Amino acid sequence: MQLSVIKTFISRFLILILSFGLVIYSTNMWGSEGKGTISIVIANVAAVSFFSSIFSGSSTSYFASRFKIEQVLLYAYVWSLLIGILIPFLFSFASIQSEYLIYLIGISVFSSLLSTNINLFIGTQNIKRFNIYTVLQQLVHLIFIGILVYVFNQKDVSVYFMAQIGCLALLFFTSFFQIIRKCKISAISFSGVVARDMFEYGWKTQLSAFIQFLNYRLSFYFLEYFDGISSVGIFSIGVTFSEAIWTITRSIAVVLYSDVVNSKSREESVLKTKSSLKLTFLLMLVFIAGIIMIPSQVYELIFGKEFRDTKLIMLFLLPGIFAIAVSDMVGYYFSGIKELKILNIKSIAGLLATIGLSWIAIPEWGIWGACFATTISYLISAAFLFRKFYRSVEFQWKDYMITKEEIRILQEKFLRK
């Protein structure tokens, strides 16, 4: 597991750097209003993905080793196409950024199709390809933006979305041909058992994920309604930087999940979860120190005067970001052992806090109200998960300490790599 974590950690660190580059470029290119538009449209894409991920998400990973891959892919692909077209049309009827409908459909469809392939890599423990494609999503997106802006002289904010569609389509077809070569055409068939089990597992997992997504992004919609699209752009930078930390810590969570769903022993899964918790806690301390040390003037210099409060927003969000990063390890453990009810309850608790506090705090304090509502919601969700995990698993003092043996193994694997 340690070597997989290190490889995935390195890939996620590259994603972090590329994401920062994308954020910096988009804010300088389109300003706070353009960044706000991007944030809302991408939030809509994320909302669509939670419906499409009923088949194309963790259910693909979970059942990749339990059913024929050809059958799993068939249901995931068909569902991705249907949901990727249907849900954006429902958004357009509700007048949610309806002028970007075509882009929303394109991004949603190809994002879901690519997600199916990536989750298949997780389910078959092909972490190497998972890492490659997650990094390429950021890198190719940046390259496509550069081509559209500097070769074709396109300057509108829609460039961001056109480039993302091109990126996702290219990566999907590339990964598809890698997968299909190992599949048997004769094995492609519909199965009621596969459909039922994937749907049952998928909707339970995605219900929690969708509710948690609302915890993460509902404040964007409240801000747009009460304070305007520019406020969303400013707030989203602080959120993006803070949550970028998760791209690193979730590298551990992805490997943990892959190990848990393929594990035959509950005790082994618990031990790996405890180890992941300790490592994530230490990584978060490092990132927090880094955020505190960077002067606020640096953010203003990079993004412009509109974003001078970025560091303060990040500091307000840090307690919640820290709590979610560490509790994610517990969440992936419960998901891996199919204890999905726990995830739903913790997400609902956080969502209720988000709705209530956002409705009160955002009209009164704007961006700072959004920070307050988001942080409290994160803390409530994380506290519930920790409580359930500590009640179901026996802990000793040594479980809270990283041992010399763990450090030695990590160093040995890293140096060998």
The confidence score (pLDDT) of residue 409 equals: 47
Please state which of the ranges 85-89, 233-237, 274-278 shows the lowest mean pLDDT. 274-278
Of 78, 90, 71, which is closest to residue 54 (Cα–Cα)? 78
The dihedrals phi and psi of 149, each to the nearest 5 degrees, come to: -80, -50
**Mean pLDDT of all residues in 260-266:** 66
- The residue range of the domain holding 179 is 2-416
The per-residue pLDDT for range 155-172, each reduced to its tens digit, is 899 999 999 999 999 999
Higher-confidence residue: 137 or 208?
A: 137
**Mean pLDDT of all residues in 41-47:** 89
Cβ pair 358, 370 in contact under 8 A = yes
The confidence score (pLDDT) of residue 8 equals: 59
Higher-confidence residue: 158 or 96?
A: 158
Please state which of the ranges 62-71, 313-322, 374-383 shows the lowest mean pLDDT. 62-71
The confidence score (pLDDT) of residue 83 equals: 95
**Which residue's entry shows tokens 């949603």?**
108
The confidence score (pLDDT) of residue 125 equals: 74
CA dist., res. 89 & res. 109, Å (int): 13
Please state which of the ranges 30-34, 118-122, 393-397 shows the lowest mean pLDDT. 393-397
The confidence score (pLDDT) of residue 397 equals: 56
The confidence score (pLDDT) of residue 413 equals: 40
The confidence score (pLDDT) of residue 115 equals: 93
Of 158, 139, 159, which is closest to residue 149 (Cα–Cα)? 159
| Total domains, the chain | 1
Query: pLDDT band for position 109 (50/70/90)?
Result: very high
- The mean pLDDT of the chain is 83
